[in-house]
Chain A
Amino acid sequence: MSRQLTPGYGVDRVLSWLDDRLSGGREVHGGGWRVTTFLLSPAVLLLGLFGVFPIVATLVLSLYDLRYGEGTFSGLANYREAIHSPAFWNSVKVTVYYLVGVVPVSIVLGFVIAWGLMNITRGRALFRTLYFLPYITSAYAAALVWRALLNPQGGLLNALLAVFHLPAQQWLLEPRGVLHVISGGYVAADVGPSLALCCVVAFDIWHGLGFVVVILLAGLSSIPRELEDAARIDGAGVLQVIRHVTLPLLTPTLYFLLLVGTIKGFQAFNSFYALTQSGGNTLGTTENLVIYLFANFYDNGRWGYGAAIATLLLVAIVGLALVQARFARRWVHYG
């Protein structure tokens, strides 16, 4: 442990010199202000400059009519424009559909898998690896693969449908509602999320499932086995045990997943960009808030308007997190 605690050479020399310079100042619980400042500065300055400052700057920029860096103060005009813009409300709708699709399904599916993994003894590590694999790969590259699988011409999914004598679908190119397609035209085409959006949802469930499974596995492992066994001995069925023992004890984990899932869901960009941009026209049914923001910024150079959208997005995230925190008191049981 105590190798080279006497001043050595090179880096150690420098550190030793720094230690001497920084050791002055009032010692408070083992750290003087100089050394504390020195240790904190790099991270705090970087996070301040590229993390906190931009939040404030976004608020300021949103009050300007800024196009490609040139513009004038325009008060709340950007917000007024957003509120009256059908394209904006459409992107809100898409974002909500996406969240409602991805978050609950991921958690339910993740729970089923984690529950299954708890019930097996051999091969658990292997399965966990396979489920985790998509999560660490580039969402963009993986989405290109899905795009090919969902290609209406020569894609794998239509080939599968053909095996079962089902009609081919347009998948990512289909702006009509998923309910419309499934019901064979009974439901109007503009009701509910489009089939294209559902494909994006499916992709992101697939891509993020590994994370959910690993977190749920940890949550399940921390539940004492005896509790479930005792309930079983008292004559409770599997579903009853899950409902009355496992799930209540798992609520902190579920709450965490809900919160993280919501925040991540609001930021979805790569999957939308890769799956639905360039080629194909889904009539805006796959334009979520970040894509809408990006399009205004990148394609139209409307920086101020983009900043206003970003601010609204931030308000939505913080607002929803607060609402979830408030409701959490009712259903989350700690310890």
Chain B
Amino acid sequence: MKRSLSYIALTVFAGIMVYPFVWMAGTAFKTLPESMGGDLNPFPATWQWGNIATTLAEAPFGQYFFNSILVSTIVGLSVVITSLMAGYAFGRLRFRGQGLLFGLVLATMMVPFEITFIPNFVLITRFGWYNSYAALIVPWCANAFGVFLVRQAFLSLPNAYYDAAVMDGCGHLRFLRHIGASMVKPTLVTVFLFAFLGSYNALLWPLVVTSDPSLRVVQVGLASFLMDSGVRLNLLMCASSFVIVPSMVLFLFTQRYFEESALSSGLKE
């Protein structure tokens, strides 16, 4: 009795959580009058598959995707490398000022980017990076959360592996590449995914440092699409689906890594 009540409540909640996405996907394939009609049924009478082509003809989402994937992939891989290196040093090595330096790294996690974006913007323009991929990529190539996660992973590993490798005459860097990295691989996947999705979903920064349409990432592309064709709801939902569906697919395949990281952020505090 109590259990079935739980199921009912949980299902209702789940319905609320998922409904907007169902509605988005359905509306994307409605005709324009149908999409504006306030119909409770999220699904179209006949599926207008042509909406995809129409949306793509209105705005170069292919180009936007290319930019987003390029930027997010480079950011993700760079974060993995910088986090692996620094996390290893913080977790495995001992050096003077370690606590202070690590504290400073963590402090950057506390300060939201929304606060520091003005000087960052000034910095980028001074570098001459306004309207360039570098502006979208370089500032995000290291993040404190990644360093933190990798450090935790190395702390929880026994030293024996390392000692054995050193006996074989292996230096830190080669140890890291051949043994260390594979031992903390799940953490690295998590770090990559978080950096990748964070970059993919970012809006404020790309909005600030690029104005060139050919440099638009998907979020900015969607924002400008809204300006250009705001009233055509079916096409707008089609464009939103372009942006949302890939990240959902990525999530469904890599779910356990996300939850792991959510957990490690909470429990190993």
A positions within 8 Å CB-CB of B: 1-5, 11-12, 15-16, 18-20, 22-23, 28-31, 33, 35-36, 38-40, 42-44, 46-47, 49-55, 57-58, 61, 69, 112-113, 116-117, 119-120, 123, 127-134, 136-142, 144-146, 148-149, 153-156, 158-160, 162-163, 206, 209-211, 214-215, 218-219, 222, 253, 256-257, 263-264, 266-267, 269-270, 273, 278-279, 290, 293-294, 297-298, 303, 306-307, 310-311, 313-314, 317-318, 321
Contacts and interface: CB of A to CB of B under 8 A. Distances in A.
Contact of B17 (A28, A209, A218, A257): A209
Contacts of B168: 2, 5
Contacts of A2: 164-165, 168
B94 A214 contact: no
Interface of B: 2-3, 6-7, 9-10, 13-14, 16-18, 20-21, 23-24, 27, 36-40, 81-83, 85-86, 88-90, 92-96, 101, 104-105, 107-108, 110-120, 122-123, 125, 138-144, 147, 161-162, 164-166, 168-174, 177-179, 197, 200-201, 203-204, 207-208, 218-219, 222-223, 226-227, 230, 233, 236-237, 240, 243-244, 247-248, 251-252, 255, 258-259, 262-263, 266-267, 269
A116 B114 CA distance: 36
Contacts of B13: 113, 131
Given A35-B173, A43-B142, A142-B20, A310 B118 contact: yes
Nearest to A113: B13
A68 to B, nearest CB: 11
B171 A23 contact: yes
Contacts of A306: 118
B69 to A, nearest CB: 14
Given A20-B171, A42-B142, A218-B267, A159 B40 contact: yes
Contacts, number: 314
A138 B243 contact: yes
10 contacts: A22-B171, A28-B94, A38-B85, A50-B139, A215-B263, A267-B114, A270-B204, A278-B227, A278-B230, A298-B208
Contacts of A140: 201, 203, 219, 222-223, 243
Contacts of B255: 129, 132
B119 A120 contact: no
A133 B247 CA distance: 10
SS class, residues of chain A in contact with chain B: helix
B173 A18 contact: yes
A211 B262 contact: yes
B104 to A, nearest CB: 6
B115 A314 contact: yes
Given A137-B248, A215-B266, A113 B115 contact: no
A31 B154 CA distance: 15
Contacts of B166: 30
A133 B251 contact: yes
A162 B140 CA distance: 47
Contacts of B36: 153-154
Contacts of A270: 203-204
Given A214-B262, A214-B263, A144 B39 contact: no
A317 B240 contact: no
B162 A136 contact: no
A40 B85 contact: yes
A141 B17 contact: no
B23 A145 contact: yes
Contacts of A40: 85-86, 89-90, 101
The 3 tightest CB contacts between A and B, nearest first, are: A19-B171, A31-B93, A57-B119
Given A20-B171, A269-B114, A120 B7 contact: yes
A49 B223 contact: no
Nearest to B85: A39
A58 B118 contact: yes
Given A44-B86, A294-B204, A307 B119 contact: yes
Contact of B259 (A11, A132, A273, A294): A132
